[in-house]
Amino acid sequence: MSDSTVLVAQTGSVRTLTLNRPAALNSFTGEMHERLRGELDAAAGDAGVRCVVLTGAGRAFCAGQDLADPAVSVDPSRGESKDLGAVIERWYHPLALRLRSMPVPVVAAVNGVAAGAGANLALNCDLVLAARSAVLIQAFTKIGLIPDTGGTWLLPRLAGRAKALGLALLGDKLPAAEAERLGLIWQCVDDDALPAEAQALAERLSAMPTRALVATRHAIDAAQTLDFDAALQLEQRLQRAQGHSNDYLEGVSAFIGKRPPRFTDR
């Protein structure tokens, strides 16, 4: 197997990116950030990609920041501190923004523990499937930090303030089934079934009208900060654009012709 920190595979129009530092539970070094950023950009720019799956090698999805990376690790005996704001600005904020602005849907296949920024990495994806044995951990307060990578924005919106605070303050393990019950993730599946379920979901999404999917994500995210009238205005603008798309013509003619549609816009 390649020793690259991000493995890339393609089946049809589904691009799978696998975080690949299993000995350190796929925690982020600067190098892995760099690779993932490059691969997300490459997938975004490739017309042959209509859905991305993000997963982890080995027993973890991602344990967040690699706490032994010299860029962020501190030597307690020296009483030194690091500028974590710079780390966030350079890596985690662009990562969250990249995921939420991908021109194709992104599926997280959470194969094992997802901790710290690793948990919020998953929550930034469009649909999150998790293996039943996986756990999500807002591990930040355990090391004196606050949730980042969009966690403070995402958690209350997904689970409500009470659960968001419980998860973020206590940093306990949240089993995948409970994450599904709380509405934090789309679905929890049996461990053995995760790769096939993630691929099937990604193939289903890749056959759908990509631009409509991405515009739907945009409208739903934007509506979090808009009043009702502004959300209606945004729907109108986006629907106008969709109305001019090839996919809309194809969708309607396929419906009228009683045949399956073949969507091509991206």
Q: Which residues bind ligand T3D (CB under 6 A)?
A: 24-25, 27, 63-68, 72, 84, 87-88, 113, 115-117, 137, 139-140, 143, 145, 148
What is the nearest approach in angstroms of ligand T3D to the Cβ of residue 23?
6
What is the nearest approach in angstroms of ligand T3D to the Cβ of residue 117?
3
Number of residues assigned to the chain: 266
What is the nearest approach in angstroms of ligand T3D to the Cβ of residue 65?
4
Q: Is 235 left (phi over 0), alpha (psi -120 to 50) or beta?
A: alpha
Strands of 94-231 (E only): list them: 106-110, 113-115, 127-131, 135-137, 173-175, 187-189
Of 148 and 247, nearer to ligand T3D (C-beta) is: 148
Q: Which two tokens stand for residue 36?
A: 């993932």
Tell me if 183 sits within 8 A of 158, measured CB to CB. Answer: yes
What is the nearest approach in angstroms of ligand T3D to the Cβ of residue 155?
14
Of 112 and 251, nearer to ligand T3D (C-beta) is: 112
Of 96 and 188, nearer to ligand T3D (C-beta) is: 96
Q: How far, in Å, CA of 132 to CA of 187, rounded?
A: 9
Of 148 and 180, nearer to ligand T3D (C-beta) is: 148
Q: How far, in Å, CA of 36 to CA of 19, rounded?
A: 8
| Residues sharing a CB contact under 8 Å with residue 46, sequence separation 6 or more, in sequence order | 15
What is the nearest approach in angstroms of ligand T3D to the Cβ of residue 181?
21
Of 67 and 219, nearer to ligand T3D (C-beta) is: 67
- The residue whose Cβ lies closest to ligand T3D is 64
